Amino acid sequence: MRRRNVQTLLAGTASDSHTWNLVYLQLFLEERGHQVRNLGPCVTDELLTAACAAERPGLVVLSSVNGHGYRDGLNAVRALRTAGLHQPVVIGGKLGVAGQVDPERRHRLLEAGCAAVFDDGDTAALGTWLDEHAGRRAAA
């Protein structure tokens, strides 16, 4: 695996107070050469927008465990785009209470500006996406 130097901002969604997922994802990203700033749980749209504006990361990773990730993620990516910030945003985890991401909700997240949407626990798909996309963004 080729090491990359990708500045990555990691955050839990606004209503999600879980932290173990963020610790796991931070290690997962760092193993792939990302320099991670972990904003922690319950990250408001305002905090995420301010951090992206100040730090200009090459990638934003949003994670949810509480089942409300769809709503929170949609609000977060819309806030970033409204602020004129265009960093790639990926989101994953429990984005709904029914299990896998509903195709219509996945479409809405992508349409709002997410670069990718991952089902809960699908770190293999995240790893593949990172290998294919994140390195190119960092080199640009």
Query: Mean pLDDT for the chain?
Result: 91
pTM above 0.75, yes or no: yes
Q: Which long-range contacts (CB under 8 A, 24 or more apart) does 122-126 make?
A: 122/92, 123/28, 126/28, 126/90, 126/92
The reported pLDDT for the residue numbered 102 is 87
At 4, the pLDDT band (50, 70, 90 cuts) reads: low
The residue behind tokens 């290998």 is 131
Segment 70-74 mean pLDDT? 96
The CA distance from 65 to 126, in Å, is 16
* pLDDT at residue 115 greater than cutoff 80: yes
User: How large a percentage of the chain has pLDDT more than 90?
Assistant: 81
